[in-house]
Structure 1
Amino acid sequence: MFGRKNEPAAESPGQPEEDPAQPLTGKGTPTPRRKDQEAARRRPLVPTDRKASKAAERQAAADERVRVRRALETGDERHMPWRDRGPQKRFARDTVDARFNLGEYLMFAALAFVVASFIIPQDSQMQIYILSSFWVVFLLVFADTFWLSRQLKKRLTAKFGAVERGTVWYGSMRALQFRPLRLPKPQVKRGQYPS
């Protein structure tokens, strides 16, 4: 009573007739049934060939590790770990890599002090000087890292407005690593500060 009539609509004079030789512009096939689509996607929970499945998983994991390692060396952020991604982390890395940091030589100084303490006799007066000089170096590194964190926070706030949580700590810990061993690899030279 209120529905449409099932009569074919009369063509309006402005519409061209369909040519059977021309391909269909629409989908051209009926929509598949849900039951058929679900059956096509269905897979067993446990693969039939477990050896091949494990080998494929190991290969995929190895490929991912290679991709991440290459990204850490080249600076490609698409494949870096989440802790290293983002413009603020890149800015912090570039700022740390552009300056001379006392912290990157802390491990070498500690190793030298340990070796010196083994060489020099325990009852010698030199042991006090060695220990005192180690604490002086440690305090200088602490002061340098504190100064870096303050400068980094100020520069990040000026550039980005708000500082992401953990970015200043990320930069400070990077300053304590020896420059050639840092990952991601430094992308700037010393003195080449980011703007």
Structure 2
Amino acid sequence: MKLPWKSNDASVADDVDTTVSDPADDDASTSTVDSKGTAYTPGKGRATPSRREAQGRRRGPVAPPPTTRSEARARKKALKSSLSREEKRKISDDRRTQRTEQRERMMAGDERYLMPRDKGPVRRFARDIVDSRRNFAGLFMPFAIVLIVVMFVPAIAVYANFVLLVFVLFMAIDAAILGRLVNRRVRERYPDTDATQTGFRLGWYSFTRAMQLRMMRAPKPQVSPGDEV
């Protein structure tokens, strides 16, 4: 509005001043306001880490791996001393559960948990042949127990050595038959098998499994005696 004592330039400046808004007012208008009319800070969207977690994520130089067993034991002891009783118990329970699960899967024949000597389709097939057969070598452990008892009876202890020699002879014959059978069946089933996986090694592997009692074999037998393989 132009007043009598103001010039035209002054009136234009006043009009411009009244139309320009204050930046502070704009910031205030864009600030977050809750239902009660008070400003607040939005949440981070995650929980605040505990002191132990924050220290665990603290960056720094990584310690070199231990060079000796004594150093490794010292580090393991220091790590255990820094844990609480509940954490130690939880770690122990987790390890026990993991070992139990690994043994169950190994006994079931899971390839991921087998020992290197038991892995592969050739060794699996050899185990099935041994488990489907009644082997004379499977009597070795019961015979050994009976022989130890007989040694304490003077009246029949004289014949123990003779009986042992006869038993070992029959066991060697059965082992030779088993080794030839397994190698022949493996070559028929897997003609492209490497020569290092057959021969004496495969025969010895089959013989050592046949010597064990059926309930003590690992992995557990997947076939019954008399089954066709």
Letter in 2 for 1:94: D
Q: CA deviation at 1:146?
A: 1.1
Q: CA deviation at 1:99?
A: 0.2
Taking a change above 3 Å as real, the CA distance of residues 98 and 68 of structure 1, as seen in their structure-2 partners, is same
Query: Could you tell me which residue of structure 2 aligns to residue 80 of structure 1?
Result: 114
Letter in 1 for 2:100: V
Taking a change above 3 Å as real, the CA distance of residues 74 and 175 of structure 1, as seen in their structure-2 partners, is same
Query: Could you tell me which residue of structure 2 aligns to residue 143 of structure 1?
Result: 173
Are 1:154 and 2:188 matched, yes or no? no
Query: Could you tell me which residue of structure 1 aligns to residue 22 of structure 2?
Result: none
Structure 1 CA distance for aligned equivalents of residues 189 and 91 of structure 2: 42
Q: Any residues of structure 2 matched to 1:1-195 within 5 Å, and which?
A: 44-45=62-63, 50-51=79-80, 52=83, 61-121=95-155, 126-161=156-191, 162=193, 163=195, 164=197, 166-194=201-229
Q: CA deviation at 1:64?
A: 4.2
Could you tell me which runs of 5 or more consecutive residues in structure 1 were left unpaired when the two chains were aligned: 1-39
Taking a change above 3 Å as real, the CA distance of residues 59 and 43 of structure 1, as seen in their structure-2 partners, is farther
CA contact (8 A) 2:131 2:223 kept: yes
Which range moved further: 72-81 or 176-185? Answer: 72-81
Taking a change above 3 Å as real, the CA distance of residues 63 and 170 of structure 1, as seen in their structure-2 partners, is farther
Q: CA deviation at 1:70?
A: 0.6
TM-score, with normalisation over the residues of structure 2?
0.57
The C-alpha deviation readout for 1:57-102, integer Å capped at 9, x for no partner, is 7666544422331113322222222221110110011000000011
Structure 1 CA distance for aligned equivalents of residues 173 and 59 of structure 2: 60
Taking a change above 3 Å as real, the CA distance of residues 145 and 57 of structure 1, as seen in their structure-2 partners, is farther
Structure 2 CA distance for aligned equivalents of residues 130 and 108 of structure 1: 15
Q: CA deviation at 1:108?
A: 1.1
Taking a change above 3 Å as real, the CA distance of residues 66 and 90 of structure 1, as seen in their structure-2 partners, is same
Letter in 2 for 1:131: N
By relative contact order (CA 8 Å, sep 6+), the higher-ranking structure is 1
CA contact (8 A) 2:130 2:206 kept: yes
TM-score, with normalisation over the residues of structure 1?
0.65
Larger Rg: 2
Which range moved further: 140-149 or 156-165? Answer: 156-165
Q: How many residues align?
A: 151
Structure 1 CA distance for aligned equivalents of residues 144 and 176 of structure 2: 20
Letter in 2 for 1:191: G
Structure 2 CA distance for aligned equivalents of residues 41 and 156 of structure 1: 56
Taking a change above 3 Å as real, the CA distance of residues 85 and 43 of structure 1, as seen in their structure-2 partners, is farther
